[in-house]
Chain A
Amino acid sequence: METVIFLLFALLAVASSLVVVLHKNPVYSTMSLVVTLFSVAVLFVLLGAPFIGALQVLIYTGAILVLFLFVLMLLNITREESAVTAQKGQLAAAVLGALVFGGMLLLLVLEARRPLDPMTEELVSMKGLARSLFTEYLLPFEIVGLLLLVAVIGATVVARRPPQPGPTVSGLETPEEIEP
């Protein structure tokens, strides 16, 4: 049963990540990334981290990708701009790379390690995670909090609309954005 779920969501993740990378329209890429991240969240739950899986959906698909869509719509970016130019020898390099990569993947898939220990309540529970987070990893936790504060302030400052110039200053045109 677990194998079926794994194969299903792994295939889904790979397929939608290919769409992310190949589709011309960034909005479709973002929606495919939503599907990919959702599949990865399911795989997290399979691996005994249901809280991280729920957090993945909550943070990544629920907030970060909405922010991506928001910016895409604000700046009205709907198509890829310049064309992709092929380099010389690109095909040979791609084939060689794919072969090496495929070989390594094969080794990974066929590898047989010792069987996994059964999942314990300790690994899955939020209490164990929280205990480690607030004792062993307290310093990184606080630093990440500070980092998020810096990011909020930084993003607000960087994205601020520059003060509108008076009629005597030339060269600056009003940007053609959508004002929410």
Chain B
Amino acid sequence: MKRILACALLALAFTPAAAQEKSPFADYQRMTAEGSPVELFELGGEELWKKKQGPNSASLERCDLGQGPGVLKGAYAALPRYFKDVDRVMDLETRLLHCMTTLQGRSAAEAAKRVYGNADSPSEMEYLSAYIAAQSRGTKIAPGRSHPKELAAYELGRKLFFHRAGAWDFSCASCHGEDDKRIRMSELPVLSKPEFARPVMATWPAYRVSNSQFKTMQWRINDCYRQMRMPEPVFGSEATVAMNMFLTATAQGETYRGPGTKR
């Protein structure tokens, strides 16, 4: 009982002020999360992680996600971070592409050919992202914040977040910059503020009930750029990783509890 109370208090402490009153959004979120098939994607991802593929006929089991080769526990919650072997900051999807080319011997083009799947046939990236993120449940979000390149990625991400461009002169902040805005039954969290970024970043990647698809964080960023009518960013590019770094760093300290379930 005490534990339940403590959890409830903790949850309250991290919930944006708007959601503290009886929020229809919270109810809706709770109801959609019941019966989420996220675990099926985790199972699919585990299979792919161990499957021998590519010219080297190797699995990804020796892939170093930052905690050492093959270590999955807590790895997602510590990304994005700087990787010495490639001298750049990477997030989960970018690092997976790297492992597919180095360990499995696949070409970068082939590995990145189908990063977004559909309901009938989810992509490798989506399955793997579900499986790996799930191994960080209960771990505090703590991306790399010490290496100069990590700091630079954060700065670039922050700038991109507020940078207005494109046919509509939009920035991320055009939608995610003001309190109490929503699109239909989805709240628009002010992602530059920790209290809003925390619950969001703690539950991505996520399963979307409206189209029965599992979505990666790279997809989320890509789709925001599509909605802003900007040129399509490259999957795993410096810009999208920087954006992910900015959002994750803003949410740092929150306990990861995904993969989540969204509308």
A binds B: no
Q: Name B residues whose Cβ lies closer than 8 Å to a Cβ of A.
A: none
Q: Name A residues whose Cβ lies closer than 8 Å to a Cβ of B.
A: none
